[in-house]
Amino acid sequence: MTTLADVADLLRNVRRKAGLSQEALAQRAGVSRTTVAHMETLAKSDMSVFALLRLLEAAGYDLKPVKQGYVRTLEDILAEQRRGDEP
């Protein structure tokens, strides 16, 4: 099961992989830097799905549901490589 803490870590990691500061990501996504900081640390123990989607998009990522236990296929990996995605 994915927890809010896992999502907060994911957000922080994709921001860093994109080479963005909290401020730069916030500006790209149209949210405040405080929102980014709160979401990365769960300071308010809650997370706005709308803000999460905007932040991930601004960092160059998409949110995609994956069935539990799903293992990526060779086709998935090749498609990611063609798009330049990171696993």
Domains of the chain in sequence order = 4-83 (1.10.260.40)
In tens, the pLDDT along 17-63 reads 999 999 999 999 999 999 999 999 988 777 888 999 999 999 999 88
Note the pTM of the prediction, 2 decimals. 0.72
Distance CA 19, CA 39 (A): 18
Burial class of residue 13 (count of CB atoms within 10 Å of its CB; 0-12, 13-18, 19+): middle
